[in-house]
Amino acid sequence: MNTSLVWFKNDLRVQDQHSLSKAVASGNRVIALYCFDPLFFEEDIFGFKKTEKYRAQFLIETLSELKNSLLDLNIDLLLYIDNTSDNIIKIIKEYNVTDIFIQKEWTQEEKDIITSVRKKTSTITWHETYDQFLFHPDDIPYEEFAKIPNVFTVFRKECEKKATVGPILAPLQPLPVANRIENNTKVPTLQKLGLDTFTVDVRTAFPFKGGELQAKKRIQHYFWGTQKLAFYKKTRNGLVGIDYSSKLSPWLANGSISARQIYWEVKQFEKEIKKNQDTYWLIFELIWRDYFKYVSLKYGNAIFKIGGILHKAYDWNTNNIALQEWIEGRTPYDFVNANMIELQETGWMSNRGRQNVASYWAKELKQDWRIGAAYFESMLIDYDVHSNWGNWMYNAGVGNDPRDRTFNIKSQTERYDAQGKFRKLWLQNQLF
């Protein structure tokens, strides 16, 4: 029996999932795979684990849910903690895999893994689909990625005028029970991945679990239950509590939900409840997310280099004492400290916090911005390679900000935490 293999990466859902839908339509037996490749759990060049406990736990929860959702479709999800290419070769032989369906990747580490598999599988038919975008590459008004503009506003206005958002795919029907295989692989624990266990901090602004159904629950609450979407732009710079922003970024980052699904849910809300600047602003943020993906498609590995996409030669420093003070929240700024402690204790930080702590690290201290980006990669539940490195370039003055701004942290503190509520929450034993 010929078999189609769906190789899951950051597209961990069953609905509106193009690779899975194409595999089901192939007429073959369908199996699925996710590999906890050691590459993504080892230390990087700056000494941080590439994936720390918070995102790993969110991933574990997501895959537990995905495994069950796939079983409802009579598709087995095979899970391995091992070198990806070695496992895929074994699976190809064992199950007579003829076709592999994957989300198209272009950043170096992800590309290298796919290339290593391709080299060992010359007889396989590959089906790669861009499935991370709001505006699909075929639908944007640029014939080639080299023509993507270097200013976000230009990109946004052109796309809003000329691009369309694709429809959501129809729900999949279960395959025959005979599609099932004998599969005893299990979702690993944090300990199996070499990470510490933890208790969720009661103060966290992100107490949610991973998984496609959890993402839908969050949308149900934020859009339809509380209707907080109607105030999103006004509250999105908040710092305390679960509802100052949509908090959808972690599910988006690992693909538990697609940008298209969020977009069409916003459109439904605008039709049934209210359409205003606030509802539009969530779509605006989805376009920013797209933009950073297109920037990385245009510039490739330049997004990871110290000069960024502008090839700017600043005089960067590397000071280990400054790094420890920044990580542990022992800087001269209470606002920076509170944000860094929140990140250390929960794996979450608000957008406003991220802008300020990055500006302090890169602009005031003039420390190598890539160290900050790597620390965020390690710690953030919602780490997305394109958004993280794109935003850090932006804040460091080597990316897509034509103004090259430095944040005035004192005035930011007065504006966004005037009563000290956020700082009191995270600096409980300190006076300020």
φ, ψ of residue 119 to 5 degrees: the values are -60, -30
How far is 420 from 335, CA to CA, in rounded Å? Answer: 9
How far is 83 from 316, CA to CA, in rounded Å? Answer: 35
- Considering the domain architecture, whether residues 109 and 148 belong to the same structural domain is answered as no
Q: What is the pLDDT, as a whole number, of residue 429? A: 62
- Considering the domain architecture, whether residues 340 and 416 belong to the same structural domain is answered as yes
Rounded to an integer, the average pLDDT of 187-205 is 97
- Helices (H), ranges, 139-276: 152-162, 212-219, 232-235, 249-253, 259-272
- Considering the domain architecture, whether residues 381 and 410 belong to the same structural domain is answered as yes
Rounded to an integer, the average pLDDT of 80-100 is 93
What is the average pLDDT value for the chain, to the nearest integer? 96
Per-residue pLDDT for 432 more than 60? no
CATH number of the domain residue 267 falls in? 1.25.40.80
DSSP for 385-412, please give it.
Answer: HHHHHHHHHHHHTSSS-TT-----HHHH
194 near 92, Cβ under 8 Å? no
How crowded is residue 267: how many other Cβ atoms within 10 Å of its Cβ?
Answer: 14
Among 304, 319, 342, which residue terminates a domain?
304
Is 198 part of a structural domain of the chain? no
Sign of CA dihedral 348, 351, 352, 355: positive
DSSP state of 229: G
How far is 403 from 320, CA to CA, in rounded Å? Answer: 29
Q: What is the pLDDT, as a whole number, of residue 404? A: 77
358 near 367, Cβ under 8 Å? no
Domain housing 89: 3-130
How crowded is residue 412: how many other Cβ atoms within 10 Å of its Cβ?
Answer: 19
- Considering the domain architecture, whether residues 144 and 257 belong to the same structural domain is answered as yes
Question: Max CA-CA distance within the chain?
Answer: 69
Q: What is the pLDDT, as a whole number, of residue 283? A: 98
- Considering the domain architecture, whether residues 25 and 143 belong to the same structural domain is answered as no
Spatial CA neighbour of 399 closest among 364, 349, 363: 363
Q: What is the pLDDT, as a whole number, of residue 405? A: 84
Helix (H) or strand (E) holding 114, with range, is helix 108-120
φ, ψ of residue 241 to 5 degrees: the values are 100, 170
Rounded to an integer, the average pLDDT of 246-263 is 98
CATH number of the domain residue 370 falls in? 1.10.579.10
Least confident of 21-35, 104-118, 141-155: 104-118
pTM check: above 0.85: yes
Is 295 part of a structural domain of the chain? yes
- Count the domains in the chain: 3
CATH number of the domain residue 32 falls in? 3.40.50.620
245 near 208, Cβ under 8 Å? no
Q: Could you report the per-residue pLDDT of 327-378, keeping only the tens digit for each?
A: 999 999 999 999 999 999 999 999 999 999 999 999 999 999 999 999 999 9
Q: Could you report the per-residue pLDDT of 128-180, keeping only the tens digit for each?
A: 999 999 999 999 999 999 999 999 999 999 999 999 999 999 999 999 999 99
How far is 115 from 117, CA to CA, in rounded Å? Answer: 5
Is 185 part of a structural domain of the chain? no
CA distances to 252, 325, 337, 422 from 330, rounded to whole Å, are 32, 5, 6, 16
Per-residue pLDDT for 430 more than 70? no
Q: What is the pLDDT, as a whole number, of residue 26? A: 95
